[in-house]
Chains A and B, each alone.
Chain A
Amino acid sequence: MNLDLGPEALEYGATARRALEAAGGDELLRTAEREPERRDDVIGSLLAALGAWELTPREHPEELEAAAALCRSAGSVALPYPVAERLSRSSDLDADGLIVVSDANPAAPIAGSALRWTALDAEGRRSAVTACVPTGPARTSSFVGRLELEPLDDRGAGDLALAVVLPCWTLLGMLDRALELVRAYVLDRQQFGQPIAAFQGVQFQLTDAEVERAGLEELAKYALWSIEVGRPEAADDALALRLAAIEAADIVFRVAHQLHGAIGFCDETTLSWLSRYSGPLRRLPFGPAETGDLLMRRLGRSGLVGIFGGGS
C-alpha cells in the first residue's frame, strides 16, 4: 500500500503553486479583500487555465490525487476561492460545486459566487443553494455568508467523504505555510545576540507544531486513499481527518502566533492573513466538538477500521 501522492499529482500541485505565486501569491488574498467581486474573474480563470475544472476526482484516482495536491497549493497562499468545494462537486448533479453544511446555520465562504452550488449535510441530504451576501466586509466575514437551502434529494451520502477531505487538504496547505513562515521567522529574528531559533524552548514549540502537521499530512493521504479504493468507511475516515486537522490547526497557529510575537497580529505579516482566513475552514461546516460528536455517533462502539484493519 502506498499512500503517497503519485508523481503526476505532485508535479501538478507544484505547477499550481508556481502559477499562484506568479499571479501574485499572497497578494491575491489582499486584492480579493479589496475587490471581492473580482474573485471569480481573477482566480477562477487562473485555475481554469491550469485545467482545474476539468479534473474529475470522483471518477479518476489520478485526478483525485491531483485535486488534493491543488487544494494544498491553494491553501499555501490562503487562496480566497472555493477550490476544494468546486472540485468536490457531485457527479450526478448539474452543479459547479458541493459544500458540506451543518443543519443549524448553514454557511460557506462562497459569498458573491455566480456559480451553481449544491449543499450536503452529514446525513446525505442534498439541497440547492442560494448564497446570501455577508453582513460585513470581507475583512471580517472572510467571504462567509449564510446559505438558503432548497431540498433536492437524500442520495448524497456517497458524496460526503470527498467533500470533507478536500478542504482538509486546503487546511494542510495553510499549516505547511504557517510552519514555513514561523521557521523562517525564528531563524531570522535576533534576540540576545542570536536567532531565537537557538533557544530550545523555541525549538520544542516548533517541533510540537511540526509533529502535528506531519501527522495530519499522513492522515490526509490515508483518508484520500480510503476514497480512492472505495472503502465503505471512507466518510468515517474523512471525519476523523477533519477532527485531526482542526486540532492540528489549533496547535500550529498557536505556536506560530506565540513565536512571531505581536507582529504576527499585524497585517504586515503573512501569518496574520493566513491565520485569519483559516477560520472558516476550521469552524465550517462543524467545529471540533460537533465533528467529534458526529464521528462518535457514526462509529458507535466499532471504532475506525484503519490502514491495517482489514477493509480491503
Chain B
Amino acid sequence: MSVATPAELEAFRDSVRDWCRSHVPADWRTAQTGVGEDEHVAFQKDWFQELRQAGYAVPHWPAEWGGGLSVAEQIVLYQELAAHDAPRLVLAFVAIHHAASTLLAAGTDEQRARHLPAILEGEIWVQGFSEPEAGSDLASLRTTARRDGDHYVVNGQKLWSSGATHSDWCLLLARTDPGAPKRRGISYFLMDMRSAGVDVRPIRQATGEWHFAEIFLDDVAIPATQLVGTENDGWRVAQATLGAERGMTMLELAERLGHAGFRWLLDACCRPVAGGRPLDDPAVQERLAGFETEIQGLRALCRGLAERHETGAVGPADASIVKLYYSELLQRMTDFGAEVAGLPAQTELRKPASSGWESGAWVLDFIGSWEWTIPGGTSEIQRTIIAERGLGMPRGPER
C-alpha cells in the first residue's frame, strides 16, 4: 500500500470530485423516497457497480482483491462522497465489511476465491448472530450445528438479521459442542440463504419499515467446506467480525457525519420558522458548536484507529470507544435535528432509501440511531469492554 504525498492526495481528491460530479445521480433522493423493496435493491446494486468500476466500492480491502487505498485516501474518498451527497452502500455493508474481514482474517484460500469476487459482483450478506435468548449475551446462543459426514445439519432461530430478505449469504454462528463451556463450543459458518430449510420472516418495526427479520433454520445442510476457522473456534472468529463493525466501518461513518450529517443539521437550523431562523438563537449556535467539536474528536479517533489497525497496534478497547462515541453522538445530533426542525419534522416520516443515518428526516433518523446503541454490542456492552479490557477493571460475571 503506497503512502500518498500531500500533492498526490490532493490530486486524488480532485479525481474523486470529478467522478462524483459526473456519477452521483442528481435526483436520487427524490427517486429513492417511497420506493419499493425491489427498486431499492436494484438501485443499491447499480450504485455498487458504479463505485466498483471507479475503484471506490471496497477501498479498505487489500489491493489484490480490488481495494488498496491508504487510510488517508479512504478518508478523502469518504469525505468527497459525503460532500457530494452520494447514496450510501447500505445493502452491501455486511458483505464488504463483516464478511470480507472474516474471510480475509480467517477464511481459506478457496473461501476467499469463492466469495470475495462474488461480493464484488453484488452478493448480499446478512449477519446471523443474535437469537431470542442471546442478545448481549451472544455466547449463550442455542442454534445447533451437528456434523453429519461432509456437512453440518443446522437447527435454530436467528433474530434481528437486518436485510435478511435480500441476502444471498449469511454469516452464521451455531453451537457445535453443547457440552463445552459456552464460548468454546461455537462454530462460524458461511450459509447459502437459498439452502433448503431456511425461512426468513420480516419483522415490522414501530416506524412501519420491515428492515429487521427472523431466520428460522430447520435441518439446513451446510457443507463442511463452509466452516470458517476450525470447529468450536467460532467465538474467536466472530470477535474479528464484530471488531470490524466497531472499528473500520467508522471511518466512513465519521466522515459522513461530518460532511453530510452536520450539513443537514445546519440546513435545518437555517430554515425560517415563526420568529426567525433557529440559527440566530445563541442557544442553537452553542449546540452546533458543541456538535462540530465532537465530530472533530470522532474523526480524529477514527483516523487514529484506522492507522493503528494498519500497523497492528489497536488497543483492546479502541474500537469500543469509537463505537460508543459515534453512536451516542449520532443519537444526540438526530435528537437535536428533530427538535430544531420543529413540528413539520414530526410528520416527515419518509426518508430516502440509500441515505445515511442522518438523512434529514430527523424523527426517523433519531429512531434509527438506536440501531447504533443497541446492535453490534449495546452501549452497555461497550462500556463493559472499555472498563474491563481498556481500564483493567475487575471482570463481572462470566461471559
Residues of A within 8 A of B118 (CB): none
Stretch of B170-178, B204-212, B257-265 on the interface side = B204-212
B133–A272 CB distance below 8 A: no
Give residues 124-138 of B contacting A (CB, 8 Å): 133-137
- CA gap between A261 and B367 in the complex, in Å: 12
B343–A283 CB distance below 8 A: yes
Mask: chain A, 190-217; 1 = CB below 8 Å from B; 0 = not = 1111101011011000000000000000
A265–B206 CB distance below 8 A: yes
Closest to B387 in A: A201
Stretch of B46-54, B147-155, B303-311, B373-381 on the interface side = B373-381
B339 within 8 A of A: yes
Residues of B within 8 A of A191 (CB): 134-137, 140
With known contacts A194-B397, A201-B380, A261-B135, A266–B206 Cβ distance under 8 A: yes
With known contacts A262-B160, A283-B346, A289–B206 Cβ distance under 8 A: no
Stretch of A85-93, A102-110, A299-307 on the interface side = A102-110
A31 within 8 A of B: no
Give how many B residues have a beta carbon under 8 Å from the other chain's beta carbons.
40
Stretch of A3-11, A136-144, A226-234 on the interface side = A136-144
B274 within 8 A of A: yes
Mask: chain B, 341-366; 1 = CB below 8 Å from A; 0 = not = 01110110100000000000000000
Give residues 135-157 of A contacting B (CB, 8 Å): 135-136, 139-141, 144
With known contacts A140-B349, A191-B140, A201-B383, A272–B206 Cβ distance under 8 A: yes
B27 within 8 A of A: no
Q: How far is the CB of B199 from chain A (nearest CB, A)?
A: 19
A257–B208 CB distance below 8 A: no
| Total A-B Cβ pairs within 8 A | 87
With known contacts A140-B349, A265-B370, A104–B273 Cβ distance under 8 A: yes
Residues of B within 8 A of A289 (CB): 283, 339-340
With known contacts A258-B378, A283-B343, A140–B208 Cβ distance under 8 A: yes
- CA gap between A107 and B347 in the complex, in Å: 12
Closest to A198 in B: B397
Mask: chain B, 73-100; 1 = CB below 8 Å from A; 0 = not = 0000000000000000000000000000
Give residues 372-399 of B contacting A (CB, 8 Å): 373-375, 378-380, 383-384, 396-399
B288 within 8 A of A: no
B343–A192 CB distance below 8 A: no
Nearest 7 CB-CB pairs, A to B?
Answer: A191-B137, A104-B274, A272-B206, A192-B137, A265-B206, A191-B136, A105-B343
A sample of 20 cross-chain residue pairs with beta-carbon separation below 8 angstroms, ordered by A number, consists of A105-B343, A105-B344, A107-B343, A136-B349, A190-B133, A191-B135, A192-B140, A193-B140, A199-B396, A201-B384, A258-B373, A258-B378, A261-B135, A261-B378, A262-B370, A265-B205, A265-B207, A266-B212, A287-B342, A289-B283
**18 more A-B contacts (CB under 8 A) besides A193-B397, A194-B397, A258-B380?**
A102-B343, A104-B273, A135-B347, A140-B208, A191-B135, A192-B398, A192-B399, A199-B396, A201-B380, A201-B384, A258-B374, A262-B135, A262-B375, A266-B203, A266-B205, A288-B339, A289-B339, A289-B340
